[in-house]
């Protein structure tokens, strides 16, 4: 038997080894390996070099131009949106341009290492935009270290290809499909180039790469199907597919499409970013609404799995559980935000959770293994009385906690204006519209007030989560919309979507009605509802409470004299949370990148960017420094400043 001294010595040796292991882990540079930072989509970084005390000292570290402004015609740039978030993989900072050029940079200097241009088709007409939100990476466990494509980048394209590139060189992976690419083929053909495309970063789990489709909204009732496709990440061979609109009558969800409408309806597509529980082999898919957006008389029933969160078995594509956030969606309330996976302290224990933010401003929180809600969800009666031939669900699901993040009803008394005159004009607009709160059915004649609007609440940028504070940070839009359904005979020869003066008119062929949608604005161009028009909100996910909320964005560029006035603006793009107690976010119409204190919501720093900021930033460590990087450029729907630069900030080097 060993003596106490011998045992103590052995114990100290073990502790020393553990301490060394933890120290090595702590010293490992913080990275950003996924669109959402990690496979859980939490957009959280352990980097803490930049903190609340020194963030005001951030300075430009480097910037890099992709050259897209010079490469593309003004018409193509106008038909594009820059929404990409880079990833840091094997020491390379990698991202895609709206035209699917993939670029790898030195993360410390911004110097170009390699580029790859897949030569996407350039025949997509306005407004069927070019866009690439990101790329994904996969390390082949069976490949020899350092061999070609042992580490690879995977990207979907605007012309529906999936491409695999070697991370180190940008060369195509020869064993993947044909010449490093496969063509994704849907059951129904596109009506025009670009009607269906691949815009969001794929998700990779256990050697399976899965990706959804972006289907152009509101063009026709029989739009291409929103199939989720999965392929072997090494060979490109098809592994499985999941149809959110069930095609098999034996599937129980098929019965929620009355009169066999599942066989003639499209979309219900996963156009946003999926996330994965890699250990459990589960993919979480946010599914959009079925076609067309605002009239469902051709697809009566609840329409599962449209407008739902669906947990899929990563190996088979079979649904494990699902939750429909909108029954028979006729408001374009896609599940657009990426799900967020978190370990939540709930009911005296830690629960593996999945959090789903929605355009309605609702936050649904589930046990991610079972699908059981962690906060109660109630089916509540909603307004009835739809258009002739329409089918309406009598109830819709409402989470009891957290409270809605945006207003869900507007009355004439809520009208707002800079002056008595424009406030009075806004009141008249609201009085003229049908407005019975959220889920008021679309209408012809007087039109319907959509509150939230179809771009309201949380959108594709998603949320960020601080695991220590149990705090979710999410940006939301609070601007309402006016929607008028137009009888088919009154639509003057429009077959797609016509954009003019910030409004859109969509044909929605195959239905009795087209649509005219507009922001609810005063004659002076300001929203008719009280500011803030965009907000940053902190939600305590342990108890479901709202910790704080602050305006996001300034209207100074709309003023005769540019004075900072933080009334909030519409926004697209997500936040980043760091261990340094900071939130970084762009997203706003004013073109600034900002830093906020995560405990108070106080803005600590802002920097005007060279072009539009409708993307999500990221942060990482390289060469002993923490960087905050963001890609800037044009955004079609905001008509933001055109540009093609990625910009990185860091603290000054010690001298």
Could you read off the pLDDT of 594-607 as tens digits, one per residue? 999 999 999 999 99
Strand duo 275-277 + 282-286: pairing: antiparallel
Residue 458's pLDDT band (boundaries 50, 70, 90)?
very high
pLDDT, one tens digit per residue, over 372-416 is: 999 999 999 999 999 999 999 999 999 999 999 999 999 999 999
Give kind and range of the element (H or E) at residue 421.
Answer: helix 420-432
Q: Is 114 exposed, middle or buried (0-12, 13-18, 19+ CB in 10 A)?
A: middle
pLDDT, one tens digit per residue, over 153-185 is: 999 999 999 999 999 999 999 999 999 999 999
Token digits for 111?
A: 């110097």
Whether pLDDT at 550 is above 80: yes
Whether pLDDT at 578 is above 60: yes
Q: Cβ(567)–Cβ(584) under 8 Å?
A: no
Q: Cβ(366)–Cβ(282) under 8 Å?
A: no
pLDDT at 126: 67
pLDDT at 189: 85
Residue given tokens 């709309």 in the structure block: 558
Residue 27's pLDDT band (boundaries 50, 70, 90)?
low
pLDDT at 497: 59
pLDDT at 638: 85
pLDDT at 18: 35
pLDDT at 606: 98
- Point out which residues pair with 622 in neighbouring strands: 625
pLDDT at 305: 98
Instruction: Tell which wins on pLDDT, 5 or 538.
Output: 538
Token digits for 163?
A: 């491409």
Distance separating the N- and C-terminal Cα atoms of the chain: 57
Q: Cβ(653)–Cβ(624) under 8 Å?
A: no
Whether pLDDT at 26 is above 50: no
Q: Cβ(30)–Cβ(47) under 8 Å?
A: yes
pLDDT, one tens digit per residue, over 491-531 is: 765 555 554 444 577 878 889 998 988 999 999 999 999 99
Whether pLDDT at 16 is above 50: no
pLDDT averaged over every residue in the chain: 92
Whether pLDDT at 423 is above 50: yes
Average pLDDT over residues 71-99: 96
Whether pLDDT at 283 is above 90: yes
Closest CA to 253 of 304, 193, 329, 177: 304
Strand duo 319-324 + 340-346: pairing: unpaired
Task: Give phi and psi for 70, each to the nearest 5.
Answer: -80, -30
Catalytic residues: 332
- Point out which residues pair with 17 in neighbouring strands: none
pLDDT at 492: 62
Give kind and range of the element (H or E) at residue 546.
Answer: strand 545-551
Whether pLDDT at 24 is above 60: no
User: Is the peptide bond between 292 and the residue preceding it cis, with omega within 30 degrees of 0?
Assistant: yes
Residue given tokens 């179809």 in the structure block: 454
Residue given tokens 């607009």 in the structure block: 429
Residue 9's pLDDT band (boundaries 50, 70, 90)?
very low
Whether pLDDT at 645 is above 50: yes
Residue 30's pLDDT band (boundaries 50, 70, 90)?
confident
Give the Cα separation of 650 and 58 in Å (integer).
5
Average pLDDT over residues 98-109: 98
Q: Cβ(614)–Cβ(638) under 8 Å?
A: yes
């Amino acid at each position: 038997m060993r003596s106490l001294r011998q045992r103590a010595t052995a114990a100290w040796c073990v502790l020393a080894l553990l301490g060394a292991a933890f120290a090595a882990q702590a010293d490992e540079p913080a990275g950003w390996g996924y669109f959402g930072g990690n496979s859980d989509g939490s957009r959280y970084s352990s980097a803490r070099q930049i903190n609340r005390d020194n963030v005001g000292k951030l300075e430009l570290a480097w910037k890099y131009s992709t050259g897209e402004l010079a490469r593309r015609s003004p018409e193509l740039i106008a038909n594009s949106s820059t929404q990409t978030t880079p990833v840091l993989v094997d020491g390379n900072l990698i991202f895609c341009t709206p035209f699917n050029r993939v670029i790898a940079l030195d993360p410390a200097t911004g110097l170009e290492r390699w580029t790859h241009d897949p030569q996407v088709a350039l025949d997509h007409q306005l407004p069927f935009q070019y866009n690439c939100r990101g790329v994904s990476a996969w390390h082949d466990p069976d490949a020899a270290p350092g061999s070609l494509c042992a580490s690879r980048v995977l990207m979907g394209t605007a012309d529906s290809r999936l491409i695999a590139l070697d991370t180190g060189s940008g060369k195509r992976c020869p064993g993947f499909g044909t010449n490093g690419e496969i063509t994704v083929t849907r059951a129904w053909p596109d009506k025009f180039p670009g009607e269906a495309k691949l815009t969001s970063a794929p998700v990779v789990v256990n050697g399976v790469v899965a990706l959804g489709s972006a289907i152009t909204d509101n063009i026709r009732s029989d739009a291409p199907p929103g199939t989720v496709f999965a392929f072997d990440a090494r060979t490109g061979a098809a592994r499985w597919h999941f149809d959110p609109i069930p095609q098999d009558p034996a599937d129980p969800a098929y019965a929620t499409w009355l009169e066999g409408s599942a066989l003639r309806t499209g979309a219900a597509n996963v156009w946003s970013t999926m996330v994965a529980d890699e250990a459990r082999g589960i993919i979480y898919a946010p599914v959009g609404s079925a076609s067309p957006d605002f009239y469902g008389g051709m697809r009566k029933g609840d329409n599962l799995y449209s407008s739902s969160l669906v947990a899929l078995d990563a190996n088979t594509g079979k649904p494990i559980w699902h939750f429909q956030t909108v029954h028979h969606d006729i408001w374009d309330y896609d599940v657009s935000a990426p799900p967020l996976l978190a370990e939540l302290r709930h009911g005296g224990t830690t629960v593996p959770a999945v959090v789903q933010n929605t355009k309605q401003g609702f936050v649904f929180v589930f046990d991610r293994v079972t699908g059981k809600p962690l906060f109660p969800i109630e089916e509540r009666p909603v307004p009835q009385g739809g258009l002739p031939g329409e089918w309406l669900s009598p109830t819709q699901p409402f989470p009891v906690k957290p409270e809605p993040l945006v207003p869900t009803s507007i009355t004439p008394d809520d009208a707002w204006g800079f002056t008595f005159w424009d406030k009075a004009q806004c009141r008249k607009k609201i009085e003229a519209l049908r407005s019975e709160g959220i889920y008021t059915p679309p209408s012809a004649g007087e039109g319907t007030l959509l509150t939230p609007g179809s771009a309201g609440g949380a959108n594709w940028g998603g949320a960020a989560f601080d695991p220590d504070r149990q705090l979710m940070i999410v940006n939301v839009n609070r601007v309402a919309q006016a929607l008028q359904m137009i009888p088919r005979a009154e639509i003057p020869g429009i077959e797609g979507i016509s954009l003019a003066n910030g409004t859109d008119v969509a044909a929605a062929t195959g239905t009795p009605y087209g649509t005219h949608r507009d922001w609810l604005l005063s004659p002076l161009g300001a929203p008719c509802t009280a500011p803030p028009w965009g907000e940053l909100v902190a939600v305590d996910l342990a108890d479901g409470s709202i910790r704080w909320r602050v305006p996001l964005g300034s209207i100074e560029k709309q003023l005769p004299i540019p004075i900072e006035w933080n009334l909030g603006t519409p926004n697209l793009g997500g936040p980043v949370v760091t261990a340094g107690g900071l939130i970084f976010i762009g997203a706003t119409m004013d073109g600034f990148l900002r830093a906020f204190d995560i405990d108070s919501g106080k803005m600590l720093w802002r920097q005007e960017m060279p072009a539009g900021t409708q993307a999500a930033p990221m942060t990482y460590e390289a060469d002993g420094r923490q960087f905050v990087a963001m890609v800037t450029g044009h955004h079609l729907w905001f008509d933001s400043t055109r540009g093609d630069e990625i910009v990185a900030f860091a603290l000054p080097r010690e001298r």
